[in-house]
Chain A
Amino acid sequence: MASSQHVLLSPAELAYLHASLSLTPPIRPDGRSPTQFRPLVAETGILPGTNGSARICFADGTEAIVGVKAEVERTAQRPGEETVFLEEGGAGDDEEEEGEAVDKRKGDASWVEMTVEIPGLRDDDSGTAFLSAMLSEALLADGEFAKRLWINRRFHWKLYLDIILISPPLSYPLPLLSLTTHLALLSTRLPRLKSEGDEDPFFDDDWAAAPYLYPRTPTSVAKPTATTTTTRPPITLLVMAVGNNIIFDPSKEELAVADVALAVSVTSTASSHHIDTDTGHPAAEAGRNLRLLSIRTIDPPSRLTPPAVANAANAAYGASNGAALGTQKMLEARTAETEAVEGVWRAPRGGAKRMVLGALVQKVLERGGVVDEVLDALEGVDLG
């Protein structure tokens, strides 16, 4: 879909754009630095009837709304799994299991249902399906998210994520949708559970008491500088490379000249104690612990752009007489077709280079890098 959307740029313009993005430092058409995001406005809690909702508006006019609804659902008992007896959960068992209580929780990918709606596209359009697959993959990849929906051994929350792009897709909407989903999940609250063990769930009717799906630890008074280090929902970023330059959050035009485009899903996890004891230093506590969840290559639209013709091969510039061409000229013409000629637009060919991919991932996971910046920014959004 949007990735293959036609860009109305001439080959010469494409070549110019490519050239300027290949510079060190690259010069982006809108003057951003390579790691800079487009400015965005975000708010949460816009849909009062949902468990959590968010809306993000990019400066280029693209806008998305995400609503999260939760429902209690009975967990299907599979044959072979130990059957859950009510009495068990109650008395003796708990004490010995207390230490590894978290491990009891299981999640299942079917507990999350996601629908993506892009105006002007059918919901079974391959582009939409791909977007939705990427977004849910990011959520479910490590299995940690679904565990949050665990109520007890017999029940779980089923989460319905409705992702709607409400503007025309002016640029590839993946980052927008992902950030909005992230924000919506941050603001999602589930009714407080009052029952214990494996009883039929019974909830507090006071909405104000409902805990957040991603609990926020308030920054403690003692250490005002300490940031929250708890787990956050994943975000999926669009990163592209032109030559050796890595560019975040490409606009539509930039994407049209990308050599490689990647969708990288990252999550931030609470710094666990194992790592701390290994390093022997609480450094991990201060920052975020970023974890790579998935990488997807996006078919860059640049491949579909019309190629330019080098002057040498252009009949208009006197290269018309094929018969008169000497072997030298023939060679030149071949070079022009296969090798890049300065100032002449050629769609990139072949896959991404391994070095570039490595550099991309590293750049994404960099501490204090773009992801941190984005997460900090989203954390700053008031959850109302």
Chain B
Amino acid sequence: MASLKRSVDSDPFAANISSKVYVRSTKSGKVQKIVREVYLRQDIPCSSRLCQSCLETAPRDAVGRPIPFVLSEAPAGTSVFPQGHYLVPDTNAFLTAMDLFEQSSAFYDVIVLQIVLEELRNRSLPLYNRLISLTNSEEKRFYVFFNEFRLETHVARQEGESVNDRNDRAVRKAVAWYAQHLTRTGAKKLPAVVMLSNDRDNLRKAKQEGISACSLAEYVKQLKDADALLDMIPETQDQETVKDKRPGEPLYPEYFTMSKMMTGVKSGLLHQGIFNVSPYNYLEGSIRVPAFPKPLLILGRENINRSIDGDLVVVEVLPKDQWKEPSTQVIEEDAITKNENPDAEETGDIVSEKERKALQEEVKRTHSKTTEGHAQPTAKVVGVVKRNWRQYVGHIDQSSVSQSAQQGRKQDTVFVIPMDKKIPKIRLRTRQVAELVGKRILITIDAWDRSSRHPIGHFVRSLGELETKAAETEALLLEYDVQYRPFPKTVLDCLPKEGHDWRVPQSVEDPGWRDREDLRGLLICSIDPIGCQDIDDALHSRPLPNGNIEVGVHIADVSHFVKPNNAMDAEASIRGTTVYMVDKRIDMLPMLLGTDLCSLKPYVERYAFSVLWELSPDADIVNVRFTKSVIKSREAFSYEQAQLRVDDHSQQDDLTTSIRTLLALSRKLKQKRLDAGALSLSSPEVKVQMESETSDPIDVKTKVLLDTMSLVEEFMLLANVSVARKIHEAFPQTAILRRHGAPPKTNFDELANQLRVKRGLDVSVESSRALADSLDACVDPKEPFFNTLVRIMATRCMMAAEYFCSGTQAYPEFRHYGLASEIYTHFTSPIRRYADLMAHRQLAAAIGYEAIHPTARSRGRLEAVCKNINVRHRNAQLAGRASIAYYVGQALRGKATDEDGFVLKIFSNGFVVLVPRFGIEGLIRLRDLAEPEPAAEYDAETYTLKTSGSREVAVELFQKVRVRVTDQKDETTGKRGVKMELISVY
């Protein structure tokens, strides 16, 4: 009987075929055996420019040209490999030291093996993406070699061999093959092929087999700027190679196994959610889980159990007798753990004496409480499903630096205090303490062992001196994950060839004019903030013979220039939005488009996408149509200019009257919106005035609201709503829309209670209308700002608005709560928001202007886009605010001003004051009030804090206070911050 199996002897092609067998567990719980056949080939090139033979056989592109080889013919050398070398790192090398590979000073000509790439993808997706972008960059010369598919380098797993051993063997085999392959090229200066690995066993075997191999540390020492680079090799790795780790006393409870957690979550015994740290108390976290209406509290280091803000964790609810109230105390990490010694071997308890004391206070307070109802369920973290660690910006805690380290070059352990207060301090080992002190630095967390109180990280790079504009701005951009690198060449290649000379074609026969309406004759103008260069929108109005009014909103036709799925589109979809910093703008699209070709500049013809309404004099929509058009803006006004012009009654020209018409209509539109229950919310907004030459901040101004701003806003809202209806009608499943969920009632519990107790006011949250009305009722006749204050606080209780793809939600969920609109999208700022660009494409398809591109129609892709732009949008806002906060701090530098403020939040050992003039919040602690710290009595029921002893004041919520705002540099931490002192209580 001939065997049915494919055997090596009987099949002449058997050598070319191999198979890979593994078990796949699907999400639904299915477990399958998967067999993949692998067809081995010999035409996968080595991609070294030295090699001629590969060039002949390498696959060619569609035109028949060979794909250019990547690896240099004369790679750089090191002290050990002066003849030059190619690097072949193993998976661990990438996992532990990706930052090294991104250096521009070294690490060129790297061969990334397929097996390594695959393993990396399984272990860490972010690192995989970083590696992929490295392989795409031309100057770094990273080449992905498909070793698993090349006959000579394919390795079959042996009997009893573990997967890791097999993969290590595959790496060694590839290295050996490369070395041997290169000798055949007959080059004079033959580069060495060096394996990089931190696995001692692998290195030993490599030595046996006669392959050149180095550990990361050994290799880096051969380079020029070894010291700086050595710091980037993670801490844990160091220990592994240098000495066996001492088995430290475990401080934290062990995590559950993944399967145990998943079973628990599925059966409802455990809960999964994103871990959030309280901004005021680093020992208190909360986690929102679907099973409970209110977030679960997680108190204390032990319960937090090594989770860091943003991690996806699994928690277990604690028994009821351990339920607590959220803390009313401010606990700051740098204050409490200030004098910890980073070098100290951390035995004993995780909870330091001081921390325990802080918690004790808590317990005392809870016990003395008679009211039971306030206790909230607490939980402890039993495992982490997914770490959300990123790179953190921080600075070295000066107090943790030992004297000897200040001069020497030996490795020293210090603490880094991250800029984000929610991130715990990170232990860092570095050889360059002296250089790094006083700098903003970028670090990564490597691990957080059970035996270590603090997470361990390594240094990535320095951003520059603390408080220099460049360093601080870059720090903000990094912290909020804003893509600020210049646009790559591939993106710039997508721009029109004519550059700034591009003009709207003269001839109406030109394909650019196809289906475009000629609206050059209309009196169109734009109204924007002063100095606005990227003009997205312009307006016009004109009376119609039937007494109605035609109103047009003209939006820059960005989709004409940014075609779907090219490099520019991809870049824009990643950036998601333009980020506005005080002194800098990070564009979503290249300058040429944003500020020139797309921008609806005055006096020139531009392509536009127009929404044209016929409105009745009562601002009811009679009909609406959408068209691509060519316009010529008559004037670009600033809000102030437009306002002046409207107010100046001597101006009676057509343009001014049309603005007046628009203004009148916008008032009616606004009234309608408010009647429908639109909320008018508030956030403290200020504008930093800069000196024009040096762009140093000189003053801070609160933003003034002008009628013309509201004019533009109303028509933009109207356009967005009209477009949303149209694209939803055309694409019921895939329209890109924006929704704002109704806030859960519990969000307002705290605020409602505070208002009731302090002012006897009621907040009703039944509907947006009810909320709007009750917010209107929140007035204090003596204090005009009180209403704004309540609105600011109410805004913080809201949900965030989000982009979504219409197929993912039911129609009632489309509602925009804040605007009280059934349906809404973003359409009016395609230059600075990617969502608008998508809406443009969908609208163009909806009116039959062009066929819809598959990417604007695929739900999966749209959902991914929405998810990304939601995050980007939020980060951009946060970055913008942080930038303002920084500049406000700088503007106050060296000055002391007395300002009015309001108490926003109250703790048992301090309170938070909002100063509307600067839009900043500051914490005033009891110990800041007087020396020695006054005793205080905190009444949580009435939100009052009474101090006695060294200083006697009574502070209550919403109270108006007089504070002195100064800037202050904390000498120990080297951090400048706004400091407030209480002068008096009104």
Interface CB pairs A-B, < 8 A, 8: A71-B31, A74-B29, A191-B23, A191-B33, A198-B263, A201-B259, A206-B22, A206-B162
- The answer to whether B23 and A203 have CB atoms under 8 Å apart is yes
With both chains docked as a complex, state the minimum distance between the C-beta of B491 and any C-beta of chain A, in angstroms.
Answer: 39
- The answer to whether B1 and A41 have CB atoms under 8 Å apart is yes
- The answer to whether B262 and A207 have CB atoms under 8 Å apart is no
Given contacts A195-B260, A200-B263, A205-B24, contact A72 B3 (CB under 8 A): no
Residues of B within 8 A of A207 (CB): 21-23, 33
**Interfacial residues, chain A to chain B (CB-CB below 8 A):** 41, 43, 45-46, 48-51, 55, 57, 63, 70-72, 74, 86-87, 90, 191, 194-196, 198-208, 210, 384
Given contacts A202-B25, A205-B24, contact A86 B263 (CB under 8 A): yes
Residues of A within 8 A of B266 (CB): 200
- The answer to whether B30 and A71 have CB atoms under 8 Å apart is yes
Q: How far is the CA of A208 from the CA of B3 in the complex (A)?
A: 23
Residues of A within 8 A of B25 (CB): 202-203, 205
- The answer to whether B35 and A57 have CB atoms under 8 Å apart is no
Convert B63-93 into 0s and 1s, putting 1 for each residue whose CB lies closer than 8 angstroms to a CB of A.
0000000000000000000000000000000
Smallest CB-CB A-B distances: 7 pairs: A195-B259, A202-B259, A199-B263, A41-B1, A200-B263, A48-B35, A207-B21
- The answer to whether B23 and A210 have CB atoms under 8 Å apart is yes
- The answer to whether B33 and A51 have CB atoms under 8 Å apart is yes
For the complex, is B19 an interface residue (Cβ under 8 Å from A)?
A: yes
With both chains docked as a complex, state the minimum distance between the C-beta of B703 and any C-beta of chain A, in angstroms.
Answer: 55
Convert B23-62 into 0s and 1s, putting 1 for each residue whose CB lies closer than 8 angstroms to a CB of A.
1110001110101000000000000000000000000000
Count B-side interface residues using an 8 Å CB cutoff. 30
Given contacts A41-B1, A51-B33, A191-B31, contact A202 B262 (CB under 8 A): yes
For the complex, is B940 an interface residue (Cβ under 8 Å from A)?
A: no
> In chain A, what residue has the closest Cβ to B265?
A200
Residues of B within 8 A of A71 (CB): 30-31
Given contacts A55-B4, A206-B163, contact A194 B21 (CB under 8 A): no
Residues of A within 8 A of B260 (CB): 90, 195-196, 199
With both chains docked as a complex, state the minimum distance between the C-beta of A156 and any C-beta of chain B, in angstroms.
Answer: 12
> In chain A, what residue has the closest Cβ to B35?
A48
- The answer to whether B21 and A48 have CB atoms under 8 Å apart is yes
Q: How far is the CA of A48 from the CA of B264 in the complex (A)?
A: 35
Q: How far is the CA of A309 from the CA of B598 in the complex (A)?
A: 109
Q: How far is the CA of A71 from the CA of B28 in the complex (A)?
A: 12
With both chains docked as a complex, state the minimum distance between the C-beta of B972 and any C-beta of chain A, in angstroms.
Answer: 47
With both chains docked as a complex, state the minimum distance between the C-beta of A57 and any C-beta of chain B, in angstroms.
Answer: 4
Residues of B within 8 A of A196 (CB): 257, 259-260
Q: How far is the CA of A191 from the CA of B29 in the complex (A)?
A: 13
For the complex, is B267 an interface residue (Cβ under 8 Å from A)?
A: yes
Q: How far is the CA of A65 from the CA of B183 in the complex (A)?
A: 51
Convert B870-887 into 0s and 1s, putting 1 for each residue whose CB lies closer than 8 angstroms to a CB of A.
000000000000000000
> In chain A, what residue has the closest Cβ to B4?
A46
For the complex, is B927 an interface residue (Cβ under 8 Å from A)?
A: no
- The answer to whether A202 and B258 have CB atoms under 8 Å apart is yes
Given contacts A203-B31, A207-B23, contact A86 B264 (CB under 8 A): yes
With both chains docked as a complex, state the minimum distance between the C-beta of B315 and any C-beta of chain A, in angstroms.
Answer: 16
With both chains docked as a complex, state the minimum distance between the C-beta of B4 and any C-beta of chain A, in angstroms.
Answer: 5
Say which residue of A41, A70, A72 sits within 8 Å of B29 (CB atoms): A72
Residues of A within 8 A of B1 (CB): 41, 43, 57, 63
- Main SS at interface, chain B: mixed
- The answer to whether B257 and A195 have CB atoms under 8 Å apart is yes
Residues of B within 8 A of A204 (CB): 23
> In chain B, what residue has the closest Cβ to A207?
B21
For the complex, is B269 an interface residue (Cβ under 8 Å from A)?
A: yes
> In chain A, what residue has the closest Cβ to B267?
A86
Among B19, B24, B260, max chain A CB count under 10 A is at B260
Q: How far is the CA of A71 from the CA of B24 in the complex (A)?
A: 12
Q: How far is the CA of A195 from the CA of B19 in the complex (A)?
A: 28
With both chains docked as a complex, state the minimum distance between the C-beta of A87 and any C-beta of chain B, in angstroms.
Answer: 8
- The answer to whether A205 and B22 have CB atoms under 8 Å apart is yes
Chain B, range 262-278, C-beta contacts under 8 Å to A: 262-264, 266-267, 269
- The answer to whether B33 and A49 have CB atoms under 8 Å apart is yes
With both chains docked as a complex, state the minimum distance between the C-beta of A286 and any C-beta of chain B, in angstroms.
Answer: 29
Q: How far is the CA of A191 from the CA of B161 in the complex (A)?
A: 17
Residues of B within 8 A of A87 (CB): 269
Q: How far is the CA of A8 from the CA of B3 in the complex (A)?
A: 33
With both chains docked as a complex, state the minimum distance between the C-beta of B18 and any C-beta of chain A, in angstroms.
Answer: 12
- The answer to whether B33 and A50 have CB atoms under 8 Å apart is yes
Residues of B within 8 A of A210 (CB): 23
With both chains docked as a complex, state the minimum distance between the C-beta of A20 and any C-beta of chain B, in angstroms.
Answer: 30
Q: How far is the CA of A205 from the CA of B22 in the complex (A)?
A: 6
- The answer to whether B3 and A43 have CB atoms under 8 Å apart is yes
Residues of A within 8 A of B162 (CB): 206
Q: How far is the CA of A198 from the CA of B267 in the complex (A)?
A: 12
For the complex, is B489 an interface residue (Cβ under 8 Å from A)?
A: no
Q: How far is the CA of A68 from the CA of B653 in the complex (A)?
A: 88
Q: How far is the CA of A204 from the CA of B24 in the complex (A)?
A: 9
- The answer to whether A200 and B29 have CB atoms under 8 Å apart is yes
- The answer to whether A200 and B33 have CB atoms under 8 Å apart is no
With both chains docked as a complex, state the minimum distance between the C-beta of B382 and any C-beta of chain A, in angstroms.
Answer: 12
Convert B231-267 into 0s and 1s, putting 1 for each residue whose CB lies closer than 8 angstroms to a CB of A.
0000000000000000000000000011110111011
Q: How far is the CA of A87 from the CA of B19 in the complex (A)?
A: 42
Residues of B within 8 A of A199 (CB): 257, 259-260, 262-263
For the complex, is B157 an interface residue (Cβ under 8 Å from A)?
A: yes
> In chain A, what residue has the closest Cβ to B166?
A208
Q: How far is the CA of A63 from the CA of B29 in the complex (A)?
A: 36
Q: How far is the CA of A321 from the CA of B659 in the complex (A)?
A: 134
> In chain B, what residue has the closest Cβ to A63?
B1
Chain B, range 715-737, C-beta contacts under 8 Å to A: none
For the complex, is B354 an interface residue (Cβ under 8 Å from A)?
A: no
Given contacts A191-B31, A200-B266, contact A48 B259 (CB under 8 A): no
Q: How far is the CA of A176 from the CA of B5 in the complex (A)?
A: 20
Q: How far is the CA of A191 from the CA of B266 in the complex (A)?
A: 22
> In chain B, what residue has the closest Cβ to A191?
B23
With both chains docked as a complex, state the minimum distance between the C-beta of B409 and any C-beta of chain A, in angstroms.
Answer: 45
With both chains docked as a complex, state the minimum distance between the C-beta of A342 and any C-beta of chain B, in angstroms.
Answer: 42
With both chains docked as a complex, state the minimum distance between the C-beta of B886 and any C-beta of chain A, in angstroms.
Answer: 47
Say which residue of B19, B24, B30, B262 sits within 8 Å of A200 (CB atoms): B262
Given contacts A51-B33, A195-B257, A207-B22, contact A46 B262 (CB under 8 A): no
> In chain B, what residue has the closest Cβ to A45?
B5
Residues of B within 8 A of A198 (CB): 263
Residues of A within 8 A of B4 (CB): 43, 46, 55
Residues of A within 8 A of B157 (CB): 208
